[in-house]
Chains A and B, each alone.
Chain A
Amino acid sequence: MHIDLKKEIKESGPGKIGIIILLLMIAVALLAPVLARYDPYQQSTASLLSPSWNHWLGTNHVGQDVWSRLVFGARTSLLVGFGVGILSTLLGTIFGVSAALVGGLYEKVVMRIVDAFIVIPMVIIVILISAYIRPSILTLILLLSLLSWQGGARIMRAQALSLKERGHVAAARSFGAHHFYIAWRHIVPDLGPILLVDFIYSVRRAVFMEAGLAFLGITDPTVVSWGMMMRDALSFSYLNVWQWWLVPTGVALSLTIIGLTFVGHAAEPVIEPRLRGAEVA
């Protein structure tokens, strides 16, 4: 089962675009302090200004520079996104693979819990909890991860189950290997491509969620977030400030999500080879 993920993505038109967008966003996030021209939190009396040489995207209702907030917002989205991605993929893999290997009651219990969580809409729970506890970025990452690893766990378990039956695993078992060794040396490496796809989609979901929650106003107000910027912009839809305040922010957010979608889509044939075919430019 020799799968070349890099090749898959490289050969896909949207895949290439997706990678470029992501790299761009990551670059922006990393270089935020350099790119920003003002402190994103510094308020001033110069509110609701149109774009000018000083303020490339104008200022918001409390005089903060929109452009600076935009680039710092990238940090928040990507931080939460990748944080949740890593954690939830990790948890999903651990529970999914262990369930497949250990089997028995453990597997049954774990999978019941997994199924139960998949059915419940995640956002509602987060809203509920956030209503009581204002989550910091870290708490948010933790919370979102705890509620989203289940999807990946199902996939991982299914894969691990089929891999478990392979010859080289049986051989390892005959040498007396423990579950952990088998998981580590034989199963997880073959899971690589699927892990990546699951990761990408987790990141995507998390970016979405973070923006949405910030839009509702229940995340940490001391952190700049695209969602929060859009929330603030909402009240001023009547003025034409939306052109430089709302739209660039929304577009930045959408582009990030689109980039992730494209990459995820390009990587999908890795799991489902029948999808491969003449569909890209």
Chain B
Amino acid sequence: MFSKGNIVTYVIAFLFILALNFFLPRMMPGDPLMAIYGDEALIAMTPELKAELVERFALDQPLWQQLGAYFGALFQGELGHSYYYNAPVLPVILGRLPWTLLLVGSSLVLSTVLGITLGIESGWRRGSKTDRSMLAGLMGLNGFPDFFLGMLLLIAFGVTWGIFPLAGALTPYSGLSGLALLLDILRHLFLPVAALTLAHLAGGYLLTRNTMITVLKEPYMLTAKAKGLSQRVLKYRHAGRNSMLPVVTQTGIWMGRVVTGALFVELVFAYPGVGYLTYEALLARDYPIIQGVFLMVAVSVLVINFLIDLSYPKLDPRVSYAY
């Protein structure tokens, strides 16, 4: 279904992202520096800083030279300068990255694994009460936006019952270490991960279930049953493994959704990741941060998609490469 590993596609996507990043501020009316940094920034900047930035990004030069400067800076890992944090963009983002990785990583893994498992079980029992209720339930769950789920969980478990903390990734100034620190992090992580996982569970579930339904009709399932294999083996080794394949292809696309979902969830729980950073930057019109995040996220998603494409033939021996 997905075009397998075609580099050209990814190159085009990458170029598009770069182009967007480059041209958007420069197409705004008025002073390019203002467009890039926003008026509030300009007010806060010193004239020396302004001059330095103009020079570094060749903002008074013709467009093509600006392009050169832009790429030059990019390859040096220079993503711009944030006026708000008064620091280069890249370190700021990197500082927040681990929390987002933790959040997104756990949610992606959990929702995929759980989704696939539920999908297999549901597809296996197709038509039964369990299946129908799971289907209806998950489709219902799917309708809840991640931020709404997050808010419901926050209010229920955080505010009303006080089981989980209301904000942040860890208790500040607690001086915890080792196991206690780990538990503290997990306590803070729990609700955001729960929200994000629940919101994206249905994707994997539905796809797996659908594939399972078609797989169960294949001749090799009868062969497997004839071999006297147990239900468990039939369900997982034969049907399940075959049903997983489309999900793996889709994981790349879903990752994009989970990442953007993280943005909303971090906002609801004030979780100090890249998402929250972006939100703050949006409020403060800190364009360099926004652009920096955009670039990083888009590129990461592309890279991961590409890697998944590469690994697909290992899972499905019927597929071969066509570069």
CB atoms of A and B under 8 A apart anywhere in the complex? yes
In the bound complex, residues from chain B placing their C-beta under 8 Å from that of A268 are 210
**Contact: A121 with B143, CB < 8 Å?**
no
Known contacts A125-B20, A129-B24, A250-B152; is A117 also within 8 Å of B131 by CB? no
Q: Quick one: which of A235-281 are within 8 Å of B by CB?
A: 237-238, 242, 246-247, 250, 253-259, 261-262, 265, 268, 272, 274-275, 277-281
Report if A120-B17 is in contact (Cβ < 8 Å); known contacts: A230-B148, A277-B213.
yes
Q: How far is the CB of A14 from chain B (nearest CB, A)?
A: 6
**Chain A contacts of B206 at CB under 8 A?**
265
Interface centre among A112, A131, A238, A280 (most CB of B within 10 A): A131
Asked whether, in the complex, the Cβ of A132 is within 8 Å of the Cβ of B148, the reply is no
- A212 contacts partner chain B, Cβ-Cβ < 8 Å: yes
Distance of A215 Cα from B142 Cα, bound (Å): 18
A250-B132 contact given A265-B139, A277-B127, CB 8 Å threshold: no
Give the contacting residue for A127; candidates B144, B148, B217, B290; CB below 8 A.
B290
CA A119 to CA B159, docked complex, whole Å: 38
Evaluate whether A120 and B290 lie within 8 angstroms (CB atoms) in the complex, with A131-B282, A234-B151, A254-B144 already known: no
Query: A1 an interface residue at 8 Å Cβ cutoff?
Result: no
With contacts A128-B24, A242-B155 taken as known, whether A115 is within 8 angstroms of B6 at the C-beta atoms is yes
Query: Quick check: A124 and B294 within 8 Å, CB to CB?
Result: yes
Contact present for A274 and B148 (CB under 8 Å): no
Q: A254-B144, A257-B143 are in contact. Are A278 and B298 (CB under 8 A)?
A: no
Complex contact A250–B12 (CB within 8 A): no
Report yes or no: A127 in contact with B282, Cβ–Cβ below 8 A: yes
Query: How far apart are A127's CB and chain B's nearest CB, in angstroms?
Result: 7
Q: Is B297 a contact of A254 with CB atoms below 8 Å?
A: no
Contact of B136 among A14, A246, A253 (CB under 8 A): A14
Q: A216-B267, A279-B126 are in contact. Are A123 and B147 (CB under 8 A)?
A: no
- Determine the chain A residues whose CB is within 8 A of the CB of B268 once the complex forms: 234
In the bound complex, what is the Cα–Cα distance between A256 and B28 (angstroms)?
36
Residue of A nearest to B131 (CB): A279
The docked-state distance in angstroms from the alpha carbon of A123 to that of B263 is 10
Complex-state Cα separation, A6 to B291, whole angstroms: 46
Q: Which residues of A contact B127 (CB under 8 A)?
A: 277-279
Is A141 close to B, CB under 8 A?
A: no
Q: Given A124-B260, A211-B145, A113–B12 Cβ distance below 8 Å?
A: yes
Among A14, A113, A118, A131, which residue has its beta carbon within 8 angstroms of that of B290?
Answer: A131
In angstroms, Cα B148 to Cα A254, docked, is 9
Other-chain residue from B3, B152, B155 in contact with A115 (beta carbon distance below 8 A): B3
Cβ-defined partner of B148 (8 Å) among A118, A123, A250: A250
B14 → A minimal CB distance (Å): 9
Q: Which of chain B's residues has its CB closest to A250's CB?
A: B148
Q: Is A217 an interface residue (CB 8 A)?
A: yes
Residues of B within 8 Å of A278, CB to CB, are 126-127
User: How many residue pairs bridge A and B at CB < 8 Å?
Assistant: 164
A218: Cβ under 8 A from any B Cβ: yes
Q: Please give, as numbers and ranges, the residues of chain A lying within 8 Å of B131 by CB-CB distance.
A: 279
B8 interfacial contact with A, CB 8 Å = yes
Q: Measured between C-beta atoms, what is the minimum distance from A160 to chain B in Å? A: 16
| Cα A234 to Cα B279 with chains together (Å) | 14
Let me know if B260 and A121 touch, CB within 8 A: yes
Name the prevailing secondary structure of the B interface residues: helix
Q: Does B311 contact A (CB under 8 A)?
A: no
Q: Does B259 contact A (CB under 8 A)?
A: yes
Docked-complex contact B142 and A279, CB < 8 angstroms:
no
Task: Say which size band chain A's interface belongs to.
Answer: 35 or more
Pick from B49-57, B87-95, B249-257 the stretch touching chain A: B249-257
A212 near B12: Cβ-Cβ < 8 Å:
no
Contacts of B302 in A (CB 8 A): 119-120
A38: interface (CB < 8 Å): no
Given B126, B142, B285, which contacts A261 in the complex, CB threshold below 8 Å?
B142
Is B13 an interface residue when CB atoms closer than 8 A count as contact? yes
**With a CB–CB cut-off of 8 A, which chain A residues contact B124?**
none
Q: Mark B269-309, 1 if CB is under 8 A from A, else 0.
A: 00000000011001101010011001001100110010000
CA distance A131 to B20 in the complex (A): 13
User: Are A131 and B145 in touch, CB under 8 angstroms?
Assistant: no
Which of A115, A217, A253, A281 has its CB near the most chain B CB atoms (within 10 A)? A115
- The reply to whether A217 and B282 contact each other, CB–CB distance below 8 Å, is yes
A82 at the binding interface (Cβ < 8 Å): no
Check: B79 CB closer than 8 A to any chain A CB.
Answer: no
Considering only residues 109-168 of chain A, those with a C-beta below 8 Å from chain B are 111-113, 115-125, 127-129, 131-132
Listed from nearest, the 8 A-B pairs whose CB atoms lie closest are: A121-B256, A258-B143, A278-B127, A257-B143, A123-B260, A116-B13, A250-B148, A116-B12
Q: Can you identify 14 A-B contacts, CB atoms within 8 angstroms?
A: A14-B139, A120-B298, A121-B260, A121-B297, A123-B256, A125-B298, A128-B294, A216-B267, A237-B154, A255-B143, A258-B139, A262-B139, A278-B127, A279-B132
Residue positions of B touching A, CB distance < 8 A: 3, 6, 8-10, 12-13, 16-17, 20-21, 24-25, 28, 35, 126-127, 131-132, 135-136, 139-140, 142-145, 147-148, 151-152, 154-155, 159, 206, 210, 213-214, 217, 252-253, 256-257, 259-260, 263-264, 267-268, 278-279, 282-283, 285, 287, 290-291, 294, 297-298, 301-302, 305
